[in-house]
Amino acid sequence: MTDLSPYRVKEMTDYQGDVEGASTPMELYEKLSEQGGKVRSLKSAEADKAEVDAAVQLLLQLKMDYKQMTGQDYKAGCPPSVNDAAPNNGPAADGAGEDDTVDPWTVSTTNATGVDYDKLIVRFGSSKIDQELVDRIEKVCGQKPHRFLRRGIFFSHRDMHQVLDAYEKHQSFYLYTGRGPSSEAMHVGHLIPFIFTKWLQDVFDIPLVIQLTDDEKYLWKDLTVEECHGYAIENTKDIIACGFDINKTFIFSDLDYMGSSPEFYRNVVKIQKHVTFNQVKGIFGFTDSDCIGKISFPAIQAAPSFSNSFPHIFGSRQDIQCLIPCAIDQDPYFRMTRDVAPRIGYPKPALLHSTFFPALQGAQTKMSASDANSSIFLTDTPKQIKNKVNKHAFSGGKDTVEEHRKYGGNADVDVCFMYLTFFLEDDEQLEKIRQDYTSGALLTGELKKILIETLQPMIAQHQERRKQVTDELVKQFMTPRPLNFNL
């Protein structure tokens, strides 16, 4: 993968804290285990966010102390040893890194550079998008790979080589992605899968279906059915503003489409019959006190992976390959789908997985729409963008200009730099920024300014395009109808 990835794990060599109250590695190890347990129980008790954050901060601090004292990374279940005997691929009970949590509802890690995505690939059993695959995509579609591919932002896949093999033999495929409409407020992180899906649609010239899971949000959140449906319509405007081709795109709300499509519902019940309660408990962690709507919902997110769920587009064909671009946290749904597919006579969907878009406060967690200060919203004014970046963006810079000039900044933990890897198109410019920041030639304030000046026009243009989206256009995109394509 490329050097530009913001997620290369690097030691934090400049840390000078002292190891309070623990004088031996073993004592510190025990403190760490205890703190890890505390974080887990706070999370499972859905404790107050501030309380969880504070506990996570302390855990992070202890981990750095441990690294400094022992020269080893802390691993849950592996007490310190003189020689580093900790197995690399040991069965970390609960995580990619030992405290990484990645599922459809939670993304968090105690590592400042973010989730360890290589370990996640091993844990999820997917494949890495390596340079060879990126080159192959370039060759097959005949276009320069999207920056999300060049920079490892889409980093993992399932069966992408098969999709390309078939495409080269003139067997085409369709795209499926989605969004859970939990509020009107979408942030820049939400656009990542859509920006990439639009690129795939353009370069492969293929149809696309977009599912808005308003039913899911009703089941999971404290919202009314009508609120969720309303958010689905509002979010659709932002999705359309990404530039999808109306002749090749069908967007649907589950609450509307499920009831109107016998073919879709037939697939839902076929899936439901082939997955047990035990399996969804294992995959999604449902418990006996979750409502039955949640337990059966995964079948509804699985159904669009099968082409005959959309007879107005694909007729009765059930053999058309589906490719799903999504953030890695959605993978559990599609592991289940791929398990069921052959048993009900359908091809398995292929997948392209993205990393998360980090919160302004740092890569320990992803952006959250419910925390205004963690996100850049699509409705933010230029001034709000400037203030948020200046006030809240976690910096990898040093405390004083003198120190920064002398030692340089750490781009790997710097949120402004991470955001630039998502949005700055020019590879050379990005690399120069990384070098200058690392050497100390570029100051934190200057880096922030570059990001602000990248985001402001980008968001303003999105707002302009969204304004052009009329209710009539929304209706057209959401009407079941034939699409234009050759398979």
- What is the contact surface with ligand TRP in residues (CB under 6 A)? 176-180, 211, 213, 216, 301, 324, 326, 330
Q: In the bound complex, what is the minimum distance in angstroms from residue 213's beta carbon to ligand TRP? A: 5
Q: In the bound complex, what is the minimum distance in angstroms from residue 273's beta carbon to ligand TRP? A: 21
Which residue, 145 or 189, has its beta carbon nearer to ligand TRP? Answer: 189
Which residue, 11 or 103, has its beta carbon nearer to ligand TRP? Answer: 103
Which residue, 239 or 324, has its beta carbon nearer to ligand TRP? Answer: 324
Residues 92 and 100 sit within 8 Å (Cβ to Cβ): no
Q: In the bound complex, what is the minimum distance in angstroms from residue 177's beta carbon to ligand TRP? A: 4
What's the CA gap between 97 and 88, in Å, rounded?
10
Q: In the bound complex, what is the minimum distance in angstroms from residue 423's beta carbon to ligand TRP? A: 21
Return the half-sphere exposure (C-beta side, CA atoms, 13 A cut-off) of residue 218.
19
Q: What share of the chain is helix, strand, coil (3-state, %, to 5)?
A: 50, 10, 35
H or E element that contains 173: strand 173-179
Q: In the bound complex, what is the minimum distance in angstroms from residue 219's beta carbon to ligand TRP? A: 11
Q: In the bound complex, what is the minimum distance in angstroms from residue 311's beta carbon to ligand TRP? A: 19
Token representation of residue 401: 């200009």
What's the CA gap between 439 and 39, in Å, rounded?
36
Q: In the bound complex, what is the minimum distance in angstroms from residue 230's beta carbon to ligand TRP? A: 17
Which residue, 141 or 209, has its beta carbon nearer to ligand TRP? Answer: 209
Residues 392 and 385 sit within 8 Å (Cβ to Cβ): no
Which residue, 216 or 238, has its beta carbon nearer to ligand TRP? Answer: 216
Which residue, 31 or 179, has its beta carbon nearer to ligand TRP? Answer: 179
Q: In the bound complex, what is the minimum distance in angstroms from residue 304's beta carbon to ligand TRP? A: 7
Q: In the bound complex, what is the minimum distance in angstroms from residue 324's beta carbon to ligand TRP? A: 5
Which residue, 77 or 259, has its beta carbon nearer to ligand TRP? Answer: 259
Which residue, 338 or 434, has its beta carbon nearer to ligand TRP? Answer: 338
Token representation of residue 335: 């592991």
Which residue, 180 or 347, has its beta carbon nearer to ligand TRP? Answer: 180
